[in-house]
Structure 1
Amino acid sequence: MTRSFTFLVNPASGGGAAPGAVVPVARLLREAGATVDVTYSPGPRAMPGLVAAAVERGDVVVSVGGDGMLSSLAGVVAAAGGTLGVLPAGRGNDFARMLGLPDSAEGLAELLLTGTPRRIDLLCASFPGGPPREVAGSVYCGVDARAAALVDRAHRLPRRLQYPLAAVGALLTYAPARYRLRVDEDERELEAATVVVANSAFYGKGMRIAPPASVTDGLLDVVVIEAASKAALVRSLPKVYDGGHVDLPEVTVLSGRRVELRADPSRAGGRPVPVGGDGEPLGALPGLAGDPLVVEVRRGAVAVVC
């Protein structure tokens, strides 16, 4: 039976690369006899209706864009009981890297046509009083969220330099915060530069931030980089690309199914500690006296062709 597809495209992804990326894949699928519908710039309010209609038709819903676009679709597709496809066309494409997706249009088209869907985990992040939000790859607080914001403003730089320079810039201007972290029943307080709650091993355009992470094990991997000198953090940055940073004394790795996070930002000049998820800003961490940000794993939440 030939599959049918609904492509939802974020035209701004990858500095405008997404519309060009979809053309050869869609052409190959149509030449193979598949039905392909393409919608550009659907917007978050339109997505649930578009996804529901696509799932009712039996289409695979294909995310065309970066990790943020994928995250915004994954929970919607999961709620509709559909199947998700991924055409990576962003700046980082870290979740596609985690799934081991092909780089070529031919490989992606073949995978979409013949690949077997498998169920993967998602993260669910909930701020006090706010609606839950699904995230595919990772939720991060502190320096990493600041670096992601710098990447968003780095459009004039070559794409290969955007993430490394943003990471260095964020490290050189960071101030640590006091975090209260609870992973399942393990609660601790620590002074840290960043805390990452990971489903995927990768973020930041290929940084292997959480080497043990798996998208099918039903666990969250929590990586804490404790406060250190700015020079030491910058020197250790290359180790993140191969996962070697986890052997450093200032790095702690934990795992569990539920994570609670609060922070005292007084050491950081009183500024709230920013939180991001898959390249998108999510908000700021609650203070130590408030209810926490809660991140939980949704095991096998969505079927993905990969």
Structure 2
Amino acid sequence: MTVEPHPHLPPSLYKYCSQNAARAILGNKTLQFSRPGLFNDGFDLRIELAINIDEKAVVERALDQIYEGAYGPKPFPVGNTLGALLLLMRFFPGKPEPDAFKEAMRPCIEELVANRKTMLRQLCDELATETAKFKVLCLSSSGTIAPMWGNYAENICGAALQFAPREEDSLFLTARPVTYVDHEPVLFDDQGFIDWLSGRRGLDDSDLFSQFLYTKTADWASEREWRIVAGYGWQPQEDREYVEFSARDLEAVVFGFRANAEFREEIATLVTERYPECRLREMRRVAGEMAYEIVDL
């Protein structure tokens, strides 16, 4: 089955790893997909959402839209259960005065608006409970990120595995970028919340799972992360799974410049035996600059 890649999918994706992790990945030809509870970010797949609104304006405009939905002459999009009920009311005889109708509805709408934070917290908790069961593979769009070499590649003694999808059904074609934010993503602005209160919009109209899966705080932006999400995985009861990748998709093994000779020789042998299209490369300091570069060996 052909996979439609993200329009900004980079030519290569990198997996930073220690020496032992590199040996395991290359030896078994598998990559580890893990539940977010094993990650080093406590907010991974567990974000908070916000509803930023003008309470008074939202209440008044929601009441107007509810009346229009129930008794107005124009069609309106049905987005949730309330919308379906309002549409049904159009078939009943009689039409109350707008002011009387709105005043009757006002306490309910004001209560929903006042309790929005509680509702939102419950929604986030429910989504987090589900996404906590998901399996994720984390990658990076760059192989020259200094903190990544220090934190994930054994203080520059390990390697970065460079993957480039060459197969039509390559798992790397399903990678999606992480969005980094300085504050909680906004679920509803004024009009969005008004549309929800008046039955014209459902929660499904917002891609909530994508927000949970592909959003991190700006503190992590230097990682330039792309991730592959496998849902509940192939073995839902397990916290981690090891998924096979195509040997053709391994473009290169990039050694850290502190990698010792024994590790390099062992990996070179593995590559020669199992990955004929893979190159050996090295991450080095750029002469005269405070930057890294990747060069072929």
TM over 0.5: no
Please give the TM-score of this superposition, normalised by the length of structure 1.
0.19
| Pair member with larger Rg | 2
Q: Looking at both structures, which has the greater relative contact order when contacts are Cα pairs under 8 Å and sequence separation is at least 6?
A: 2
